[in-house]
Amino acid sequence: MGFPAVLADFAPTLRQGGLHLSTFCQFPDANVIEALAKTRLESFVLDMQHGMFDEASVLACVAAGALEGKPVLVRLPVDAGGLASRVLDFGAAGVVCPMVNTAEDARRLVSYLKFPPVGARSWGPRRAIPITGQTAPGYLARANNLTLAFAMIETRQALDNLDAILAVPGIDGVFVGPSDLSVSLSDGATLDSADVAPALDLVAAKARAAGKIAGIFAINPDYAADCAARGYSFIALMQDAMFMAQAADASVAAVRGKTG
């Protein structure tokens, strides 16, 4: 028996635009995914850019999510297009690609992630077939629709090229990196530029008008709720490491509060 629901419902649900709460994972261990998959988090983004994931841990953690019926996406390192189709072959439900700054960057991403005629993905979904419960012809017929390509918008250049990036066939959504966007918009001065907020509104509005998914990373629950109000539906709420640290501190504070 496969895990048929892992991919089947994910992309259609995101395209409907309801709020979907994911999280970034930095710790490359299937036990972490398994533990978080028991919570109300709805999917996971394994971070190969700034987290500690390598190919072996992606392979194990995609399967750990599948066992719990939760989709697992992968954020690639910068300029690692070849890895994009590889993690889909491992059964990932989508790819989040950092620093997509031009329509050409977006087209290159799509070429790795979508089968012809949309892109030029090479056939070989070795792990994706058992994990998704598809037959080989079924996976070929459905993968372009069910595995998602997110272009990260995190520079001034990407904002300038937003319409062109959104117009690339095969780009399913955009995903804002607020920290890098702030660094870019402030020429390296701050992680918290006031110019980010209007940019967030612009990206969400343009993504929705283009019929594409609006995604973003949220550093805390208040920021996530604000992003949802601005029109973002795919929100990566915090990171595994943050959940662990905050829960530990809250528990220690609770004990200290009772013991003086």
Active site residues: 50
d(CA 74, CA 96): 6
Q: Minimal distance in Å, beta carbon 115 to ligand 3PY?
A: 28
Give least dist CB 160 to ligand 3PY, A.
17
Binding mask 183-222 for ligand 3PY (x = CB under 6 A): ----------------------------------x-----
SS3 185: helix
CA dist., res. 4 & res. 1, Å (int)? 9
Strand ranges in the chain using DSSP code E only, listed in sequence order = 20-25, 44-47, 72-75, 94-97, 148-153, 173-176, 213-218, 234-239
Nearer to ligand 3PY, 125 or 215 (CB): 215
CB 166 within 8 A of CB 212: yes
The reply to whether 44 sits near ligand 3PY by the rule CB under 6 A is no
Report the nearest approach of ligand 3PY to the CB of residue 12 (Å).
Answer: 25
Q: Which stretch binds ligand 3PY (CB under 6 A): 6-14, 103-111, 133-141, 173-181?
A: 173-181
- Going by C-beta distance under 8 Å and a sequence separation of 6 or more, which residues neighbour residue 67? 3, 34, 37
Site for ligand 3PY, rule CB under 6 A? 24, 154, 177-180, 217
